[in-house]
Amino acid sequence: MKSNCDKMKEQIADLITGIPAEKEAQTIEQHLNECSACRAYAQRMEKEEELLTGFFAKFDTNMTSREDEAINIINRFDASGQTNVVSLGKMIMKNLFAKHAAAAALIVFVTLYFIITLTWISQINECIRLCM
């Protein structure tokens, strides 16, 4: 009888928790009507189930404020400008076209820099030559 009760207790726990039980609810209920020890066990399990459901339900009451706080932190972090720089760099590196365009822009910039610098140096040399 005891081993039958032990097996039945597992099924009672599953049934109360909401996990699919191997035995039918009707068979379990029939056993509960006959066995006072298992009935007391089922009552304790039901009480625990209520406690658990209530315990986790209370987190839902302030979930919105938790979500808002998380959003505020993201907005505050972004206000420092750090994420914009990171996202721009990542956006360029992610897209092949953007990567090539960025490389081309860099080459043009460097070439223009050298042309302007050389022109400027030759103009200075010209001025020095005229002065002498």
- Binding residues vs other proteins (CB under 8 A): 10, 13-14, 17-20, 44-45, 48, 51-53, 55-56, 59, 63, 66-67, 69-71, 73-75, 77-78, 83-84, 86-87, 90-91, 94
Report the residue number, 73 or 103, with the smaller CB distance to other proteins. Answer: 73
Nearer to other proteins, 19 or 128 (CB): 19
Calpha distance 23→73 (Å, rounded) = 50
Separation CA 29–CA 38 (nearest Å): 10
CA distance 122 to 117: 9
Residue 47: CB minimum distance to other proteins, A: 9
Q: Which is nearer to other proteins, 93 or 116 (CB)?
A: 93
Quote the least distance from Cβ 112 to other proteins, whole Å: 30
Question: For residue 23, with 0-12 CB atoms within 10 Å meaning exposed, 13-18 middle and 19 or more buried, which class applies?
Answer: middle
At closest approach, how far in Å is the CB of 128 from other proteins? 51
Closer by beta carbon to other proteins, 29 or else 46: 46
Q: Which residue has the tokens 């360029």?
A: 92
Asked if 29 and 59 count as a contact pair (C-beta separation under 8 A), the reply is no
Quickly tell me which residue has 């070439």 as its tokens: 111
